[in-house]
Amino acid sequence: MNENPSNGYIYGKNPIYEILTNNPKRVNKIYIQKGFSYDNRMKKIVELAKNHKIIVQNINLQKFSNMFDENVNFQGVVASVSSVEYVELDDFLNNSKQDDFKKLIILDGINDPHNFGAIIRTAAAGGFDGIIISNHRACPINATVEKISSGAINHIPIIKTTSLLSSIDLLKKQNYWLIATDMKAKQNYYEIDYTDMNFALVMGSEGSGISKTILNKADFTVKLESDFESLNVSAAAAVIIYEAKRQIALKNKNK
C-alpha cells in the first residue's frame, strides 16, 4: 500500500458512504474486511465505488490499526482519500451570494479532533456557511475528525488561513460582525439578534480560550451561563448555532 497513513484514510460506513455520494473524486481506493457480512449500507458503498470506477479490495483491516492514534471500530471498511480541499477566504467571499446573510465559525486553538469533528457536524446541520481555521494552533483534518463529523465535512467549506487576525480584518471589511464567546461577557448568547447581519462566531480552546488579540476585535462578546461548569466547546458551539437557527426560522415564519 502506497498511500500516506493516518490522515490519508477515513473509516466507518457512514463517512465513506457520504464521501462517495458527495465528493467521490477524493476517494482513491476502498478496503473491506475479509469475510465481512454486507448490510445494505456496505452494498451501497460497493455499488457507488464501482460506479465511480474506484478499486475495492478485500483485506485484513488490522493492517491499519497502527496508523491511528486510538483504538477504532472500522465497521468493516476503510477508504484511502486525498486531502480535503481547503477553501481560500477570498474565493469564499467572491463566490458568496449577496441575497442572504452569511454565518461563519472561527476556531481559535481547537486542537481536539473530537471537538473539531462535532463542530463541523453541528455547523453543517445548523445551516452555517463555512468554518475558518488557522495553519497554526489548529487540529488537522484527520480520520477521527472525518469520523466524528459523520460526512458533514463534505457539506460545509473549511477555510484555512495563515492568520486569523488578517482574516477577521478582511471579514470586517466585507461587513461581517465578530461574535466571541467569553465567560466574562455581560450579554447572554440569546440576547444577540443573529438574523440581520453577516457574522462570524469565534470559539476558543477549552484550555486557553480565545486569544486576547482576537477577543479585542469582537463586536459582541457573549456568555453561556451554567450552574455547574463551562460547557465543552463543541456543546457550547451547538447551543449558539441552534439559537441562531431558531431565530432565523422564527423570523422567516413571521414574514
169 vs 166: CA distance, rounded Å:
5
Same domain, 215 and 233: yes
Question: What is the pLDDT averaged over residues 119-128?
Answer: 97
pLDDT (mean) for 6-31: 88
User: Do 53 and 116 fall within a single domain?
Assistant: no
Q: Is the pLDDT of residue 227 over 70?
A: no
pLDDT score at 136: 77
pTM of the model: 0.79
Question: Would you say residue 114 lies in a domain?
Answer: yes
What average pLDDT does this structure show over 135-147? 81
DSSP for 89-105, written as a single string: HHHHHHHS-SSS--EEE
Q: Are 108 and 162 within one domain? A: yes
Does some domain include residue 61?
yes
What domain range includes position 177? 89-253
Specify the pLDDT at position 149: 93
* Cβ atoms of residues 73 and 144 within 8 Å: no
- Residue 73 is predicted with a pLDDT of 84
As a three-state string, the secondary structure of 7-40 is: CCEEECHHHHHHHHHHCHHHEEEEEEECCCCCCH
The neighbour count for residue 8, using CB atoms within 10 Å, is: 18
Confidence band, pLDDT 50/70/90 cuts, at residue 5: very low
Measured distance CA(245)–CA(146) in Å, rounded: 24
Percent of the chain with pLDDT over 70: 93
Please identify, among 50, 81, 112, the residue that sits at the C-terminal boundary of a domain: 81
Pair (179, 213) in one structural domain: yes
143-163 average pLDDT score = 90
Query: Could you read off the pLDDT of 155-205 as tens digits, one per residue?
Result: 999 998 989 999 999 999 999 999 999 988 999 999 999 999 999 999 998
CA torsion through residues 178, 250, 240, 144, sign: negative
- The CATH number covering residue 164 comes to 3.40.1280.10
Copy the grid coordinates of residue 239.
Answer: 447551543
CATH code of residue 50: 3.30.1330.30
In a domain, 4, yes or no: no
Q: What is the mean pLDDT of the chain?
A: 89
Average pLDDT over residues 123-144: 89
Q: What average pLDDT does range 76-102 have in this prediction?
A: 86
pLDDT at 229: 65
2: in domain: no
Q: What are the tens digits of pLDDT across the range 98-115?
A: 778 999 999 999 989 999
Question: What confidence category does residue 7 fall into, taking pLDDT thresholds of 50, 70 and 90?
Answer: low
Domain end, chosen from 52, 81, 110, is at 81
- With contact defined as beta carbons under 8 Å apart, do 222 and 237 qualify? no
Structural domain count of the chain: 2
Span 32-64, pLDDT tens digits: 999 998 999 999 999 999 999 899 999 888 877
Confidence of residue 3 (pLDDT cuts 50, 70, 90): very low
Helix axis angle for 233-253 and 113-125, nearest 10°, is 0
Instruction: Tell me the C-alpha distance between 195 and 163, whole Å.
Output: 28
Q: Where is pLDDT greater, at 156 or 85? A: 156
